[in-house]
């Protein structure tokens, strides 16, 4: 009995120390989340990490305890006086506890958060969204705003850029093809639309239109945070590492001015 009490005390102390270390890591993390869907993923990770830390510590401490406690001196194993292999209560407890933990984590956060993500994609909840057409080609991201008749958004250097208003739901309509060359749309390659600070990503597949719904919640810019960028996360050829574009999350008034600027640029280009 004394060994069990000692084991439990060591487990509790190490679990508390591990939770303290985990809290310190989360407090100083470099991963900034700036979108509603990303917060769901971050919350799920924090929940799982917090509750699984004692489980991980228990397994590690138990393995070390077994190695020390049941070490056979001089290579001559001896039969232990305490045998649990036929203890039905012991077996039932561990099987039942393991089943409970797995079902708990399947229900929350997995099913609960997935239900929220799937619900956000329902057409009934996506009226008045800002629609952004995202075209992936080797090796460039092209962004257009069909509601404002902006066919390709660029910055002052003529480079593609993505700008979004804070607090507004965005529907990304994603396709993989090269609009500058005529060829079979199925002959392209798979890209992956990933904005690290959004905490989610989506494969962009040739011949298939895919959708992603995001609501930015924080003002941010690639100029101050490198995580606020579009990055291809699927190896797509020699130019894959450089297939990125800056992102800015701005106020609605700033976004309106930016849209007018983009419309002026296109009018001059077509005039």
Regarding whether 224 and 206 lie in a shared domain, the answer is yes
Regarding whether 136 and 114 lie in a shared domain, the answer is no
Residue that finishes a domain, picked among 120, 151, 182: 120
Q: Give the count of domains, the chain.
A: 2
CA dist 191 → 137, 177, 180, 198, 249 (Å): 8, 10, 17, 17, 23
The answer to whether position 86 is within a domain reads no
**For residue 165, what are its two tokens?**
């208003």
Q: Give the C-alpha separation, 100 to 166, whole Å.
A: 41
- Percentage above 70 pLDDT, the chain: 85
Regarding whether 144 and 63 lie in a shared domain, the answer is no
CA–centroid distance for 95 within its chain? 32
pLDDT band at residue 123 under the 50/70/90 scheme: low
Regarding whether 109 and 153 lie in a shared domain, the answer is no
Regarding whether 220 and 156 lie in a shared domain, the answer is yes
The answer to whether position 211 is within a domain reads yes
Q: Which residues constitute the domain of residue 17?
A: 2-70+97-120
Q: Tell me: pLDDT of 83 over 80.
A: no
pLDDT band at residue 128 under the 50/70/90 scheme: low
Regarding whether 174 and 114 lie in a shared domain, the answer is no
The answer to whether position 76 is within a domain reads no
- Percentage above 90 pLDDT, the chain: 39
Q: Confirm if 173 and 136 have CB atoms less than 8 A apart.
A: no
What torsion do the CA atoms of 92, 98, 99, 105 make, to the nearest 10 degrees?
Answer: 160
Strand spans (E) along 25-127: none
Q: Give the C-alpha separation, 196 to 88, whole Å.
A: 49
Residue that finishes a domain, picked among 120, 152, 186: 120
Residue 191, domain CATH: 2.60.40.420
**For residue 219, what are its two tokens?**
């003002």
Return the pLDDT at 188: 77
pLDDT tens, position by position, 7-59: 889 889 999 999 888 887 776 665 678 887 777 777 888 888 888 899 899 99
The answer to whether position 80 is within a domain reads no
Regarding whether 266 and 134 lie in a shared domain, the answer is yes
Strand spans (E) along the chain: 130-137, 140-144, 162-165, 170-176, 191-195, 200-204, 210-214, 220-221, 229-232, 244-250
Regarding whether 226 and 158 lie in a shared domain, the answer is yes
List b or e across 225-263, with b for residues whose CB sees 16 or more CB atoms inside 10 angstroms: bebbbbbbbbebeeebeebbbbbbbbeeeebeebbeebe
Return the pLDDT at 92: 86
Return the pLDDT at 122: 65
Regarding whether 107 and 31 lie in a shared domain, the answer is yes
The answer to whether position 64 is within a domain reads yes
Q: Tell me: pLDDT of 271 over 60.
A: no
Average pLDDT over residues 87-101: 84
Regarding whether 142 and 167 lie in a shared domain, the answer is yes
Higher pLDDT, 228 or 66: 228
SS3 248: strand
Return the pLDDT at 42: 79
Q: Tell me: pLDDT of 119 over 80.
A: no
Q: Confirm if 160 and 244 have CB atoms less than 8 A apart.
A: no
The answer to whether position 83 is within a domain reads no
Regarding whether 155 and 63 lie in a shared domain, the answer is no
Determine the length of the chain: 271
Neighbours of 123 (CB within 10 A): 6
Task: Give the chain's radius of gyration (CA, Å).
Answer: 26
The answer to whether position 34 is within a domain reads yes
Return the pLDDT at 36: 77
Return the pLDDT at 108: 82
Regarding whether 20 and 109 lie in a shared domain, the answer is yes
**For residue 144, what are its two tokens?**
């257009």
pLDDT band at residue 89 under the 50/70/90 scheme: confident
Q: Confirm if 159 and 245 have CB atoms less than 8 A apart.
A: yes
The answer to whether position 202 is within a domain reads yes
Q: Give the C-alpha separation, 102 to 97, whole Å.
A: 9
Q: At what angle do helices 88-105 and 36-69 cross, to 10 degrees?
A: 160
Return the pLDDT at 29: 62
pLDDT tens, position by position, 129-175: 899 999 999 899 999 999 999 999 998 888 999 999 998 989 999 99
Average pLDDT over residues 177-205: 84
Q: Tell me: pLDDT of 191 over 60.
A: yes
Residue matched to tokens 């990503």: 201
Query: 14-18, 41-45, 74-78, 232-236: which has the minimum mean pLDDT?
Result: 74-78
Please work out, in degrees rounded to the nearest 5, the angle formed at the alpha carbon of residue 50 by the alpha carbons of 40 and 27: 75
Region of 250 (left: φ > 0; alpha: ψ -120 to 50; beta: rest) is beta
């Amino acid at each position: 009995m004394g060994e069990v009490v000692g084991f439990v005390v060591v487990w509790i102390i190490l679990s508390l120390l591990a939770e303290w270390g985990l809290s310190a890591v989360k407090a100083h993390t470099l991963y900034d989340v700036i979108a509603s869907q990303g917060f769901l993923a971050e919350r799920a990770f924090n929940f799982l990490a917090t509750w699984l830390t004692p489980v991980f510590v228990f397994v590690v401490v138990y393995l070390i305890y077994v190695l020390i406690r049941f070490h056979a001196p001089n290579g001559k194993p001896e039969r232990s006086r305490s045998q649990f292999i036929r203890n039905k209560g012991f077996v039932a407890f561990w099987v039942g506890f393991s089943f409970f933990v797995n079902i708990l984590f399947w229900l929350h956060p997995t099913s609960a958060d997935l239900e929220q993500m799937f619900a956000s994609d329902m057409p009934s909840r996506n009226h008045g969204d800002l629609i952004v057409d995202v075209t992936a080609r080797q090796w460039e991201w092209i962004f257009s705003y069909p509601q404002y008749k902006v066919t390709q958004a660029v910055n002052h250097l003529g480079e593609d850029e993505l700008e979004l208003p804070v607090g507004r739901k965005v529907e990304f309509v994603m396709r993989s093809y090269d609009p500058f060359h005529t060829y079979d749309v199925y002959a392209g390659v798979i890209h992956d639309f990933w904005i690290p600070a959004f905490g989610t990503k989506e494969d962009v597949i040739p011949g298939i239109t895919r959708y992603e719904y995001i609501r930015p919640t924080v003002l941010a810019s690639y100029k101050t945070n490198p995580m606020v960028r579009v990055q291809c996360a699927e190896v797509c050829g020699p130019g894959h590492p450089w297939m990125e574009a800056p992102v800015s999350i701005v106020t609605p008034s700033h976004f309106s001015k930016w849209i007018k600027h983009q419309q002026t640029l296109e009018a001059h280009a077509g005039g």
